[in-house]
Chain A
């Protein structure tokens, strides 16, 4: 496939998801932004940490069961 196109595609998806928009690629699925808030976590040795928040990109396939 055309490299210019692919590169542009990547960038567009990245930008849109960064701006909290969803991007749908027909026939494949939807790229979605996700935010995970900070939370506490305890290790086995008893220490407790605060995990920082995170922005993520996730993907939801078009038809999840694979039977089109």
Chain B
């Protein structure tokens, strides 16, 4: 017990208290500096860089300063970084096995950044999940789905999986597939569709609308009519045009295809054979 108190009182020497005070001071100043530098960088980069790069640079600066603070703090406490590196050698092997996935995610994240396939704010679809990229972090990205859910996707998944970026190109093509009855006037139908696209201000004049024959099907001749529009107007064009198409077809009496079945009845047995035989026989007993 006396040894214990002696040990404790040995810790509370003036020199050690001073050391602890310096270390605490370094920690506080370091953390405050990291926070301030992060805030300043975010403000500076707000108009000079994309949100993605601003976020990454800010976090890199913060994490870097925090790591430096910890090293300096440990140095103040008498723990030399060299000693840490020595002991780290043993831990590295253990940590390496444990953090394979994390390392893979970090490296995948760097590759994704370099590739530039998407950025913060883009609407993407990964593995059936569609959402806006709200942050690109070291290990994962976060999506805000269209119904306001947060989905986290590991960077490694993005590298391995096919994903679609709806915001990469500035213009999009809206495709409309439809079938017309075989007795419809296809030339008139095409003219109507082209007139609708010409009248709609959000449908591009160039690239010009596209009218493509697809197939002769069972009940219809199938076509595709496509128009180009600015990406931000895609939904409006997608919703407007079908209504106008149907209205135009109705007004011009152009029949839209419906599933059609023709039933043909034939007399298989000639008269005077089975029918007559059946007529002359006794009815079956109950």
To the question of whether A and B form a pair in one complex, the answer is no
